[in-house]
Amino acid sequence: MTLEVDSVSLVLGDGDQQVTALDKVSLVVGAGTLCAVMGPSGAGKSSLLAVCGGLLPPTSGRIKIEGKDMTALKEDERARLRRERVGFIFQQSNLVAALTAMDQLLLMSHINGRKPDRSARERAGQLLEEVGLKHRAGHRPHQMSGGERQRVGIARALMNDPSVLLVDEPTSMLDHGRGREVVGLLAKQTEEYGVATLMVTHDQAMLPWADQVAEIEDGFLGSPHRPDIDGGPPDDS
């Protein structure tokens, strides 16, 4: 299994201000699986992503990526694991303002300490083509629409060939049509690249693309199950 969350708790704040953001959460996401975690604001969705990506150390429990225990690592080792094995997809605004779509992808090679060689450029070009943005390769974020920016974010997350994709509210800033487009693309890439994708969302309409769904509320995560819909993803995905 690619992403294993084993009885993870996260307590934030001190003293009277303490909040249990995650309470003994366990979850397994396999390769090629898109797992959606649903819940209202403040339920613990972003906390779950933060601990899975090593941005916050859990108070207790273990996170394993490809069998490697992330909770045992130091901060710089977690950063390394993140850049080598984890792809993050954030909300709409999270592209670097100064970089073109192509450069957003090549940045990942730089972060990894590699000057982008020809194969990195080819891969970046191919990923942009797959998300339908080859013609936008030279455009900066302010020259693109919200949906296009989110698609660049997906391509960027796949650039370093990750085994885990962590996706934060990918549709929150998009209209319904563009939201469906983006999640459809995410589902396709999850399958094609065999990554374990954990997507947090409060948007019920995106569930048809998920292989499994789990609800979270007040830090408690329910058991993952097949999405409760008829007929699977819409045809236009």
Min dist CB 89 to other proteins, Å, is 10
Smallest gap from residue 28 Cβ to other proteins (A): 22
If one asks whether residue 90 binds other proteins (CB under 8 A), the answer comes out as yes
Total interface residues for other proteins by CB under 8 A: 38
Selected binder of other proteins within 76, 117, 228, 236 (CB under 8 A): 76
Residues 98-117 that bind other proteins (CB under 8 A): 98-99, 103, 106-108, 110-113
Q: Residue 203, interface with other proteins (CB under 8 A)?
A: no
Least distance (Å) between residue 56 CB and other proteins: 6
* Window 24-53: residues binding other proteins (CB under 8 A): 41-42, 45-47, 49-50, 53
Residue with tokens 């699977």: 232
Binders of other proteins among residues 130 to 149 (CB under 8 A) are 140
Q: Which region, judged by CB under 8 A, interacts with other proteins, from 167-175, 190-198, 207-215, 225-233?
A: 167-175
Q: How far apart are CA 137 and CA 234, in angstroms?
A: 29
Query: Which residue number, 133 or 167, has a Cβ lying nearer to other proteins?
Result: 167
Burial class from Cβ neighbours inside 10 Å (0-12, 13-18, 19+) for residue 164 reads buried
Helical packing angle, 101-111 and 118-130, nearest 10°: 130
Interatomic CA distance for residues 106 and 7, integer angstroms: 36
What is the b/e burial string over 109-138, where b = at least 16 CB atoms within 10 angstroms of the residue's CB? beeeeeebeeebeebbeebbebbebeebbe
Say if strands 60-65 and 3-12 run parallel, antiparallel, or are unpaired: antiparallel
Q: How far is 109 from 103, CA to CA, in rounded Å?
A: 10
State the residues that interact with other proteins by CB under 8 A. Answer: 41-42, 45-47, 49-50, 53, 55-56, 76, 79-80, 82-84, 86, 88, 90-91, 94, 96-99, 103, 106-108, 110-113, 140, 156, 168-169, 172
